[in-house]
Structure 1
């Protein structure tokens, strides 16, 4: 592990792994100071509360490795203590149901990032795999309430029209926490240059993923391909509003992806990912130092590496979470 990686505050904008001690040990091995960890996708309010309770239990049981983060100071503290700060996040606002008051309740529980939709339509708006009807009336109320309590709005799996309207409606920076540029590969989940520029121009933030189906070379990709994708976005919008959002799915098999990619209507398949294999050199969270090393090989200055590896995330979180 290079000195640069060791000293950097490393923050991953999206991990949806099979939470257990082996994953947390790998976070430590990778020098991860913090991560936005998914605790809800398709679960309703009750199921999500159960997931949060389980995650908090895991944080207590693995207190030598983890800390719960409710603010950026908690992430800084975790870095100092040699721990990983867990930020509770949702990949779907389904758990809000039709109750605006649940948003503050979840904030009280520690939730700090919520994606408005996951792939398809819900009460708030539309995902990226369906014809996009835009942000609903209730969706506008949700955006305002998330702004008020200090939960970051995520638009990674959200349709272009709903995203555009959410970016315009939000008084605080929003994010594509884990996306890739359509300029490198055409895919419903990838964002066009216009979309990437628009979110950045409005003060928003872009986390770049390395999820293989969305990468130019798919499962043949290497850590260098991931750095190339990061550079593409940096060259488009500048180095201040780009970070990493790996979308690690460590510890999960095919059954998980079948559940993840289901759609409304029993047994409807939304999309097929095929083989999911992360880029060579960064197959596991523990290999995170290889990413910094690849940035160094690509002649990135230390300033740019430190920003993209985590400092940028902290700055934008501070803006959103401070109420």
Structure 2
């Protein structure tokens, strides 16, 4: 039965994964020097990757995991805010593009829904860029536009810190207080400009009020690139039911993440626990609003059965094994939902005839 499940999945699924922090690990471990990075080797046997609990990704395991598309995170830490965040972000985007170029037999740069499909037809992993944290734009819509021109196709509005225009999920913690009560007027302008450009609005890491303000301000579907269900784990990084229902009305997407503390609110979790989050969201708002955003290389505790990027088939096998999922539904979760949302964002952009603002 297990063999049959895997054969069925391998023949029908080729997933699009929405959040991987490998680029920051390349900066940490080899200072962005790609000559010292052997992406086409099994990094479980290559130091320093083999010694790190934060390392889960290489080309061999991506292929085994049937990853057909990957958003690489151009993340820079909150400590860079008001200092050199823009420069560091540009360096991370440069790194992602150089990585794609170096391994062009396996990776193909993509910046649209159609280009994801084109890469798939060439048997390459469509490689896209997401910026993780609104501090990366330095409070400038001009920088936002430049990032779009460089290929960035989603931006997470906040990371673990507030920006001058948006509250992060950290304000939900005991002893922390909102600075803005959600999005400021400039924050809403950021969302509208992202709509105009065709850049997806990512609400992972945002406070609940920021989530709601962004959903109200956005003309296009929004997403959560790596979050799970608050009802099953009451972490501030997860999405409450009322926001999930608003997300369905918006036409958006929540990409369920794998970090144990967001899955079970503790150090241990299993693939079955991740499947429970996916099924819960499906039952609440429908199968059209779910995807996968594992956060590999950005977490140090992974569920048993989802230890690295090679293990995605185990998640879909777990769902199929339950008897409550069809292969068609699983294909939506694996990537078709993300393609649909991405295409809708592009369609909204095409319908917005207003010129960009001067800020």
* Bin for the TM-score computed over the shorter chain: 0.7 to 0.9
Q: Structure 2: how far apart are the matches of 1:110 and 1:24? A: 22
Secondary structure at the counterpart of residue 178 of structure 1:
coil
Is 1:91 matched with 2:91? no
Determine the structure 2 residue equivalent to 1:263: none
Determine the structure 1 residue equivalent to 2:251: 203
Over the aligned positions, Cα root-mean-square deviation in angstroms equals 1.7
Shift of 1:37: 1.3
Shift of 1:26: 1.8
Is 1:16 matched with 2:15? no
Q: Which moved more, 1:177-186 or 1:15-24?
A: 15-24
Determine the structure 2 residue equivalent to 1:78: 119
Shift of 1:314: 0.6
Q: Structure 2: how far apart are the matches of 1:69 and 1:161? A: 32
Flag structure 1 segments of 5+ consecutive residues without an equivalent.
Answer: 251-256, 258-275
**Aligned to 1:5, which of 2, 7, 10?**
10
Q: Structure 2: how far apart are the matches of 1:5 and 1:124? A: 44
Secondary structure at the counterpart of residue 201 of structure 2:
strand
Shift of 1:29: 2.0
Q: Structure 1: how far apart are the matches of 2:315 and 2:7? A: 11
Structure 1 residue runs of 4+, over 4 Å off?
none
Determine the structure 1 residue equivalent to 2:163: 122
**Aligned to 1:304, which of 290, 314, 329?**
329
Determine the structure 1 residue equivalent to 2:47: none
Shift of 1:217: 6.4
Aligned positions, number = 299
**Aligned to 2:284, which of 216, 219, 236?**
236
Q: Structure 2: how far apart are the matches of 1:112 and 1:124? A: 20
Q: Structure 1: how far apart are the matches of 2:267 and 2:118? A: 36
> CA-to-partner distance for each residue in 1:266-322, whole Å, 9 max, x for gaps?
xxxxxxxxxx32111110101222122112111211111111111101100111134
CA contact (8 A) 1:6 1:31 kept: no
CA contact (8 A) 2:188 2:217 kept: yes
TM-score, scaled relative to structure 1:
0.88
**Aligned to 1:174, which of 222, 225, 238?**
222
Larger Cα Rg: Structure 1 or Structure 2?
Answer: 2
Flag structure 2 segments of 5+ consecutive residues without an equivalent.
Answer: 1-5, 27-36, 44-57, 172-176, 350-359
Is 1:183 matched with 2:231? yes
> CA-to-partner distance for each residue in 1:165-213, whole Å, 9 max, x for gaps?
1110011111112111121121121221112112222222111111111
